[in-house]
Amino acid sequence: CPDFFVPNNNNNQVVRIQCPRCQFPQCQQCSRKTCEQYVKWLLDNDPDDPEVQFLKYLNTAGMMCPNEQCKAVYEYKPGGCEHFTCTTCGTEFCRVCSALFYNPKKNKVCPRNNCTLKDTIHAHCSYNCFREIRDADANEFVELLAAHNINVVEELRQKPEGKNLKCPVEDCPNAPSAACNNRFCDRCYKAFLCLLIWRNKIEPWTLNTDGNLRQKLTNSSIAVPATATRENLIQLARQHLTKLLGEPKKIERQR
């Protein structure tokens, strides 16, 4: 093809572009289809590959069994209990952060020496997991997301609206809430907001009360001055507790 064209953007990123005349696909950065970077990028981003597009969906709405010998993938839907049992291998884990649930009745005992919950069913979730931040007010979630340029209204538009005075989430009997334009009930709405915080890797410290921050710091053997202000507590959490935050596990393509 003898045609010449200028891409619509000038950021010189490794992205797929097409000649408007002959439709030949190529790498914007090097203009060679055999470019190694482009080939690697294409494996995870090819818009014409249904498997790639399905994986993109799973990485925004999926969860993976943490058992290394299993790694079964399930669709995540807001609402319901976060305690999930893998139907493939029986591993019990948190649907959001993948923390293992320990159940002494099933001989799955927590390995932590200082754990005071060994005789109960429990999990040690990441501090940015829904189970750790769910007590905050929904408006606090929205404000935190807005501070990180996440448009909650736009995210909600992509969700179905409740009908017949029932939350659209499967098996949820609650009435939809006007706070989220009837996309969820109040509880499922909070779960949805928490999931946005989790998937966007946003630090959750401002969602915690001063008492919760003190407790988390104390549990990690961090000295907290009696006169510490809220700002001091948040700063200490950022300095010492960030390592206890989790992040979404990327679901890889099987090659």
112-136 confidence digits (pLDDT tens): 888 888 889 999 999 999 999 999 9
What's the confidence (pLDDT) of residue 115?
86
For 92, phi then psi, to 5°, come to: -100, 130
What's the confidence (pLDDT) of residue 179?
93
Please tell me whether the overall predicted TM-score, pTM, comes out greater than 0.75 for this model.
no
213 vs 55 pLDDT, higher one:
213
Angle CA 177–178–180, to nearest 5: 80
Q: What is the pLDDT of residues 74-102, one digit of tens each?
A: 888 766 788 999 999 999 999 999 999 99
CA distance 143 to 13: 32
What's the confidence (pLDDT) of residue 35?
56
Query: Where do the domains of the chain lie?
Result: 1-46
Which of 69-83, 154-168, 193-207 is most confident? 193-207
pLDDT of residue 142 exceeding 90: yes
Are 27 and 14 in contact by the 8 Å Cβ rule? The answer is: yes
What's the confidence (pLDDT) of residue 55?
64
pLDDT band, residue 245 (cuts 50/70/90):
very high
CA distance 19 to 3: 8
Q: What is the pLDDT of residues 9-65, one digit of tens each?
A: 656 566 677 777 777 777 666 655 555 666 666 666 666 666 666 666 666 667 889
**8-state DSSP, 166:** B
